[in-house]
Each structure stands twice: as structure tokens, then as C-alpha cells.
């Protein structure tokens, strides 16, 4: 329709977008709900059909990269649900707060995410005008400072004031309409078009995200159902006291979450030491330990000294559950994952078995399931959730809804069960590994083969020695060369911790053999040197005697322990014994 006007409302969180949208279309606005998804509205203003898209707001201080991906997707989508594209964007800014550089950058970043050429089609709408006091909107813009000026200039100095409470005669709405028509005329009816490929990609991504979210939800439900069955076998356990530790980065909502669990008063004091609060929930004693926060973006080395020690102290209470508190209204990037891993590393690997991710600011999700947020954020958050065994829960701390606490306690119970199962599985695995190692050892040793090789080697050495003594040729001794591959997995037996130790023992065995052979050769050498008659030094009987001695020594020491015999004297003594 030629006369149709298509508008998209954009702006920071709680800036008054929905209020403006409803007032402009003259629709009663009673709901004070957070807008979490694009909402398409239609109306008629001064005889023109209006299609208006209300959108979720960004955090006014946040850079684009800290905005959740699902919200960024909505910003792009807003231009697509009023095809073929919007004529005008209304950038809503409330005058309640002084407009800073961060506000400007946040606005610029989010607007330009939709498209760089968005500014030619934008009008600024200032709301909550009672905060202007005696100033006119023009004076406000002039006096507010450089950053607001830069932004108004970007928008071609197009702005209006619009306060639903103050616009009793409708003049502000009329002025807004006039400005819109003017801009559309200036732009010759040109409307904003988003790159078609970008939209197609976005649609495919969102479809994938939704599918993955549904699959995760299903997977979690299945697991919970199984654990639920196990839980009911242990009836009565629910009454035992529960220790919960809260961990997280600064301003993640830990304090609030703790007070929601215990239904206690909210304290907004910064946590510098562990704060232990006890209470009774559904007749059950619950202790919640709040801990000092780590940074969200900075490495652990920059934490206050107390952070690590206080967190470790909190763990002394042997908590049943660790709640890793993550706000659901911000992005979760690889850098957050790294910071979390760094900060949780001192707690050991098994800490993840006791951890549930507790998402705060659940209200920002609207009707979106938390799985949608998890999957849309992508690898980093998915990785964290998987590390926590797919355990997560959502809190909206600003409501009195107690079911969220009951559900959390259920999940904690299930986790305790799951953890116990893992423990027993570990034990089973340890035993299994041990027996496998024994099997590996015996297989690897192939005991009979090795025994055979040992004896053969020993006899070969005997024979070699005999020959050397007979032929009067002196050759070096021969070390054992068993067909063992002494690298690879560690093995366990009562005697050896690993193959290396077995190798050591074998070498010691042969060391002795070599020592004795060598001393005998030396003895023969001495005889040769002295030009003595060999027969007077050694004869076959002597050789036989020596071999018997060595053999006896071997038998004795092989069967008892790996004690050493250090000389021929001792060898003789052993023989006599
Ligand atoms: N007095 C006054 N209050 C306003 C005005 N605009 C919004 N508010 C109040 O500000 C709060 C947020 O208003 P919404 O219109 O829901 O703001 P929004 O930008 O749509 O909020 P999100 O969708 O959550 O980002 C509500 O309590 C409104 O009543 C205004 O012009 N004057
Ligand atoms: Mg809204």
C-alpha cells in the first residue's frame, strides 16, 4: 500500500520504546513487561496505515559484543518483519540519565549492527521528559554535551520529545508523526533493506539454534526423569541439611540469588569475605555461602587477594552444590569461559560434578527457553553447560515466585544423586582399570614366554662363559635382551608400579650376573697374564662349580627378593648356606 508507513523502534533497555509504540498508535499500554522479542503492531494515525515493530532493548552501557546473540538477531529481524523494509527508525532515549560516551557508543554499535546506512532514516525520540525540569528538549540537547550532540548530528538533528504522561493533548504524538512524514518525503519513500544473504543466514542459524535448544531440553528432561527415579528410592533424604556455595563474576547476581533461595532480605553490599547465611526452606536447613566475585573480563591474577582464599574457604564447608551464577542477559564469550576456568581451577577437576549453572536475570529471556539462550550464545556457553553435566537453572530474582527455588532444590538433589553415581562409577572404573592392568601385564609379560627367555638367556650366558674359559678368549658380558616394549601404559602389580620398575629389576638381575661373569673373566685374565697353566687355574670341574654357584645364587635371590650379592665371597657363602 502506497500510504503505508513502516517504523521500527529501537533503543536501550527500559528506555520507553513500548510505551512510545502504544501511545503513538493510541493503544492502551498497561503491561510493563520487558520486550524480549520483536513485536509487530498495526494502527492508523492521521489516516495513514502504520506498521510498527517494537524491539528488545540493549543495555545502555554495553558494547555490542556484550549483548546476547539472540538479542542481536532480533535487531536484524526487526527490519524483516515489516517487509519490504522500514521507512523510519525511531531511536528512543530516556532523559532520566546523563548521556555519556558509553551510551553513545552502545547506541551507535547496536544501530550500525543493523546497517551502517541506518542514520539517514533515524529520528531520536526523547522520553521521560519530567526529568528535564524547566529545560526544553532543545536546551537539553544543547546542554547535554558532546556525546549526545554527536549522536543527534548522526541523525541529521532530527529529534522529538515524547512523554506519554505529559502528552495530554496529543501534540507530541502529532509532532512525531509530522517528523516521520517529513523524513519519508525527504528520502523519497526510500525504505531500509537488509542484505538478503544476511537474512537468509540468520534464518538458518535461528532454525538450527531452535532445533538444538529443543534437543537439549529433551536430553535434560530425559536425564532428570532417570535421576528422579533413583531419587525416589532414597525417600527421606530431602530433609538433610544442604550447603550451597555461590560463585561468579562481579555483579552476576549472586547476592540476589542467595536471598531468593533463603527468602531473606536483599543486601547489595559488595561481598569481600565469604558470607554464610542459614535459613529454612520447605522445612529443610539450608546454608548459602556467598563468595567474593572474580572479574568478568580480567584474568584471575588481577582479582583481589581475598577472592581465591575466600572461595577456597567456602569450599571447606564441603558444599553439596556449587551454583555458578551467570546473568542470562549478557553475551557469554570464550574470554568469560577462560576466566571461569582460571578461577575454578584451584577447586579441582571434580568441582564440576557439583556445579549447576544458575542463570540470573531470567526475565530478560521472555518466553524464550533458556536452552535457546544457551544454544544461540554458542560454543563457549555450551561448553560450560556440558562441563557442568548439562545442569542449569534460571532465576528471575525480582519475583516472588517460589517454584523457581523448589525446582532448583530438586535439581540439586538430582545432582547429588548423579555425583554419587559417578563416584561409584569411578570406583568401578578404578577396579576395572586395575584388573585390566593386571591383564595387560600378564598379557604383556606372557609369563611363560618371559620365563623361558630368562632361562635361555641365563643358559646362554653360562655357555658363553664356559666357552670363554675353555678357549681362553675374553669377551665382554652380555646384557639381557628380553622382548619387552618398555614404553606405553603404566602397569600395576604388587611388586612393580610400572614397566620401568620391572625393567630395573631385570637389569639388576643381570647386573649381578654380569658382575660375577666379569670377575671370573678377570680372574682368568690374571691367570693368562701370569702365564700360568690354565689347567692349574681353572678346569671343567671348576667351571661346573662356578655355574652351580651362580645358579644357586640366582635361584635363591630370584625367589626371595632383589637383594644384592656383592662379591664372590658372598657367593661362596650363599652356596655354603
Ligand atoms: N513517566 C514516564 N514513564 C515512562 C515513559 N516511557 C516509559 N516509561 C516507563 O518506563 C518503564 C519502561 O517502559 P517501557 O515502555 O516498557 O520501556 P521499553 O523500552 O519498552 O523497555 P524494554 O522493552 O524492557 O526494553 C515503564 O515503567 C514505563 O512506564 C515516559 O515517557 N514517561
Ligand atoms: Mg518494551
Is residue 421 very low, low, confident or very high in pLDDT (cuts 50, 70, 90)? confident
Residue 434 lies in a domain: no
- Give the atom of ligand 1 at the shortest distance from the alpha carbon of 34: 24
Cα–Cα distance for residue pair 393/403, rounded to 1 Å: 12
Residue 467 in this model has a pLDDT that exceeds 80: no
- Give the atom of ligand 1 at the shortest distance from the alpha carbon of 92: 19
Residue 568 lies in a domain: yes
In the predicted model, what is the mean pLDDT of residues 492-496?
46
In the predicted model, what is the mean pLDDT of residues 130-151?
94
Q: What's the gap in Å between 574 CA and the centre of ligand 2?
A: 96
pLDDT of residue 486: 45
Both 139 and 258 in one domain: the answer is: no
Cα–Cα distance for residue pair 173/392, rounded to 1 Å: 45
Both 16 and 127 in one domain: the answer is: yes
> What average pLDDT does the structure give for the chain?
83
Residue 568 in this model has a pLDDT that exceeds 70: no
Of 425, 456, 488, which marks where a domain is finished?
Answer: 425
Of 139, 164, 194, which marks where a domain is finished?
Answer: 194
pLDDT of residue 455: 66
Number of domains in the chain: 3
Residue 548 in this model has a pLDDT that exceeds 90: no
Q: Is residue 32 lining ligand 1, measured as CB closer than 6 Å?
A: yes
Q: Is residue 14 lining ligand 1, measured as CB closer than 6 Å?
A: yes
Range from 125-134, 140-149, 269-278, 473-482 carrying the lowest mean pLDDT: 473-482
Q: Is residue 165 lining ligand 1, measured as CB closer than 6 Å?
A: yes
pLDDT of residue 492: 39
Kindly give the residue spans of alpha helices, DSSP state H, lying in 378-446: 379-387, 403-445
Both 392 and 366 in one domain: the answer is: yes
Q: What's the gap in Å between 72 CA and the centre of ligand 1?
A: 21
Residue 36: CB partners within 8 Å, gap ≥ 6? 56, 364, 365, 366, 367, 368
Residue 270 lies in a domain: yes
Q: Is residue 30 lining ligand 1, measured as CB closer than 6 Å?
A: no
Both 178 and 216 in one domain: the answer is: no
Q: In this predicted model, which residue has the larger pLDDT, 78 or 457? A: 78
Angle (nearest 5°) at CA 279 between 277 and 284: 135
How far apart are the two ends of the chain, measured CA to CA in Å?
116
Which residue, judged by its Cα, is nearest atom 32 of ligand 1?
A: 128
Mutate which of 10, 11, 12, 16 for ligand 1 pocket (most atoms within 8 A of beta carbon): 16
- Give the atom of ligand 1 at the shortest distance from the alpha carbon of 162: 31
Residue 547 in this model has a pLDDT that exceeds 60: no
Q: In this predicted model, which residue has the larger pLDDT, 459 or 380? A: 380
pLDDT of residue 558: 46
Share of the chain above pLDDT 70, in %: 75
pLDDT tens digits, one per residue of 294-308:
999 998 889 888 899
Q: What's the gap in Å between 18 CA and the centre of ligand 1?
A: 7
In the predicted model, what is the mean pLDDT of residues 4-20?
97
Three-class secondary structure of residue 94 per DSSP: strand
pLDDT of residue 506: 64
Q: What's the gap in Å between 54 CA and the centre of ligand 2?
A: 7
Residue 77 structural domain:
5-194
Residue 75 lies in a domain: yes
Both 234 and 189 in one domain: the answer is: no
Residue 192 in this model has a pLDDT that exceeds 60: yes
Cα–Cα distance for residue pair 91/82, rounded to 1 Å: 17
Residue 327 lies in a domain: yes
Q: What's the gap in Å between 407 CA and the centre of ligand 2?
A: 29
Both 229 and 327 in one domain: the answer is: yes
Q: Is residue 17 lining ligand 1, measured as CB closer than 6 Å?
A: yes
Considering just the CA atoms, what is the radius of gyration of the chain in Å? 40
Residue 436 lies in a domain: no
pLDDT of residue 460: 76
pLDDT tens digits, one per residue of 173-183:
999 999 999 99
Both 372 and 343 in one domain: the answer is: yes
Q: What's the gap in Å between 127 CA and the centre of ligand 1?
A: 8
Mutate which of 8, 12, 18 for ligand 1 pocket (most atoms within 8 A of beta carbon): 18
Residue 471 in this model has a pLDDT that exceeds 90: no
Q: What's the gap in Å between 10 CA and the centre of ligand 2?
A: 9
Mutate which of 19, 68, 163 for ligand 1 pocket (most atoms within 8 A of beta carbon): 19
DSSP string, 151-182: HHHHTTT-EEE--TTT-TTSHHHHHHHHHHHH
User: And the C-alpha cell for 328?
Assistant: 542470562
Residue 577: CB partners within 8 Å, gap ≥ 6? none
pLDDT of residue 468: 72
pLDDT of residue 229: 79
CATH for 173: 3.40.50.300
Is residue 535 very low, low, confident or very high in pLDDT (cuts 50, 70, 90)? very low
In the predicted model, what is the mean pLDDT of residues 496-518?
61
Q: What's the gap in Å between 166 CA and the centre of ligand 1?
A: 14
Residue 559 lies in a domain: yes
pLDDT of residue 382: 98
Range from 85-89, 284-288, 408-412, 443-447 carrying the lowest mean pLDDT: 443-447
Angle (nearest 5°) at CA 480 between 474 and 484: 155
Q: Is residue 128 lining ligand 1, measured as CB closer than 6 Å?
A: yes
pLDDT tens digits, one per residue of 341-400:
999 999 999 999 999 999 999 999 999 999 999 999 999 999 999 999 999 999 987 888
Which residue, judged by its Cα, is nearest atom 10 of ligand 1?
A: 16
Both 399 and 461 in one domain: the answer is: no
Residue 556 lies in a domain: yes
Share of the chain above pLDDT 90, in %: 59
Both 485 and 527 in one domain: the answer is: yes
Q: pTM of this prediction?
A: 0.73
Is residue 425 very low, low, confident or very high in pLDDT (cuts 50, 70, 90)? confident
Cα–Cα distance for residue pair 305/248, rounded to 1 Å: 16
**Which of these, 282, 288, 291, lies nearest to 259 by C-alpha position?**
288
Q: Is residue 22 lining ligand 1, measured as CB closer than 6 Å?
A: no
In the predicted model, what is the mean pLDDT of residues 307-316?
93
Q: Is residue 131 lining ligand 1, measured as CB closer than 6 Å?
A: no
Both 232 and 364 in one domain: the answer is: yes
**Number of neighbouring beta carbons within 10 Å of residue 366:** 14
pLDDT tens digits, one per residue of 32-48:
889 999 999 999 999 99
Both 477 and 411 in one domain: the answer is: no
Of 143, 164, 194, which marks where a domain is finished?
Answer: 194
Residue 415: CB partners within 8 Å, gap ≥ 6? 321, 353, 354, 356, 389, 391
Q: Is residue 57 lining ligand 1, measured as CB closer than 6 Å?
A: yes
Both 359 and 481 in one domain: the answer is: no
Range from 79-88, 351-360, 479-488 carrying the lowest mean pLDDT: 479-488
Which residue, judged by its Cα, is nearest atom 3 of ligand 1?
A: 128
Amino acid at each position: 500500500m502506497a500510504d503505508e508507513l513502516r517504523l521500527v523502534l529501537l533503543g536501550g533497555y527500559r528506555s520507553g520504546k513500548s510505551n512510545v509504540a502504544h501511545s503513538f498508535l493510541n493503544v492502551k499500554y498497561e503491561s510493563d513487561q520487558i520486550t524480549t522479542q520483536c513485536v509487530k503492531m498495526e494502527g492508523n494515525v492521521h489516516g495513514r496505515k502504520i506498521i510498527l515493530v517494537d524491539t528488545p532493548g540493549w543495555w545502555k552501557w554495553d558494547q555490542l559484543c556484550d549483548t546476547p546473540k539472540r538479542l542481536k538477531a532480533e535487531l536484524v529481524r526487526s527490519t524483516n518483519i515489516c517487509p519490504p523494509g522500514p521507512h523510519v527508525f525511531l531511536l528512543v532515549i530516556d532523559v532520566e540519565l546523563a548521556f555519556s560516551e558509553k551510551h553513545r557508543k552502545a547506541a551507535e554499535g547496536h544501530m550500525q549492527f543493523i546497517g551502517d546506512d541506518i542514520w539517514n532514516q533515524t529520528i531520536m525520540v526523547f522520553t521521560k521528559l519530567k526529568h528535564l525540569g524547566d529545560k526544553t528538549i532543545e536546551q537539553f540537547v544543547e546542554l547535554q554535551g558532546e556525546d549526545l550532540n554527536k549522536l543527534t548530528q548522526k541523525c541529521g538533528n532530527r529529534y522529538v520529545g515524547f512523554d506519554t504522561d505529559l502528552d495530554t493533548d496529543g501534540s507530541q504524538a502529532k509532532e512525531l508523526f509530522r517528523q516521520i512524514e517529513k523524513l519519508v518525503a525527504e528520502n523519497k519513500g526510500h525504505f531500509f533493506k537488509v542484505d538478503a544473504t544476511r537474512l537468509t543466514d540468520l534464518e538458518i542459524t535461528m532454525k538450527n539454534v531452535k532445533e538444538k535448544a529443543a534437543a537439549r531440553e529433551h536430553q535434560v528432561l530425559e536425564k532428570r526423569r532417570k535421576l528422579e527415579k533413583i531419587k525416589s528410592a532414597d525417600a527421606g533424604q530431602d530433609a538433610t541439611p544442604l550447603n550451597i556455595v555461590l560463585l561468579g563474576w562481579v555483579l552476576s547476581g549472586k547476592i540476589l540469588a542467595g536471598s531468593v533461595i533463603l527468602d531473606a532480605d536483599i543486601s547489595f553490599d559488595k561481598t569481600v569475605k565469604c558470607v554464610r547465611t542459614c535459613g529454612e526452606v520447605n522445612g529443610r536447613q539450608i546454608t548459602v555461602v556467598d563468595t567474593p566475585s572474580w572479574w568478568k573480563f580480567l584474568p584471575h591474577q588481577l582479582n583481589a587477594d581475598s577472592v581465591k582464599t575466600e572461595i577456597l574457604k567456602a569450599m571447606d564447608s564441603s558444599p553439596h552444590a556449587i551454583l555458578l551464577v551467570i546473568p542470562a542477559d549478557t553475551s557469554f564469550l570464550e574470554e568469560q569461559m577462560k576466566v571461569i576456568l582460571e578461577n575454578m581451577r584451584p577447586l579441582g577437576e571434580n568441582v564440576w560434578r557439583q556445579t549447576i549453572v544458575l542463570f540470573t536475570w531470567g526475565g530478560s529471556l521472555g518466553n524464550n527457553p533458556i536452552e535457546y539462550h544457551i544454544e544461540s550464545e554458542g560454543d563457549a556457553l555450551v561448553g560450560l553447560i556440558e562441563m557442568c553435566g548439562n545442569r542449569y537453572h534460571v532465576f528471575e530474582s525480582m519475583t516472588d515466585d517460589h517454584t523457581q527455588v523448589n525446582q532448583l532444590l530438586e535439581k540439586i538433589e538430582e545432582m547429588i544423586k548423579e555425583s554419587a553415581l559417578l563416584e561409584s562409577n569411578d570406583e568401578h572404573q578404578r577396579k576395572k582399570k586395575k584388573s585390566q592392568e593386571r591383564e595387560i601385564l600378564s598379557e604383556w609379560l606372557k609369563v611363560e614366554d618371559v620365563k623361558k627367555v630368562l632361562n635361555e638367556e641365563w643358559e646362554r650366558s653360562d655357555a658363553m662363559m664356559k666357552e670363554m674359559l675353555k678357549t681362553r678368549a675374553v669377551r665382554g658380558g652380555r646384557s639381557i635382551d628380553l622382548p619387552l616394549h618398555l614404553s606405553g601404559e603404566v602397569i600395576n602389580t604388587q611388586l612393580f608400579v610400572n614397566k620401568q620398575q620391572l625393567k630395573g629389576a631385570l637389569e639388576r638381575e643381570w647386573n649381578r650376573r654380569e658382575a660375577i661373569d666379569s670377575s671370573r673373566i678377570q680372574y682368568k685374565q690374571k691367570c693368562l697374564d701370569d702365564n700360568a697353566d690354565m689347567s692349574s687355574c681353572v678346569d671343567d670341574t671348576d667351571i661346573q662349580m662356578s655355574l652351580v654357584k651362580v645358579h644357586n645364587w640366582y635361584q635363591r635371590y630370584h625367589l626371595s627378593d632383589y637383594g644384592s650379592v656383592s662379591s664372590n665371597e658372598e657367593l661362596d657363602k650363599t652356596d655354603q648356606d
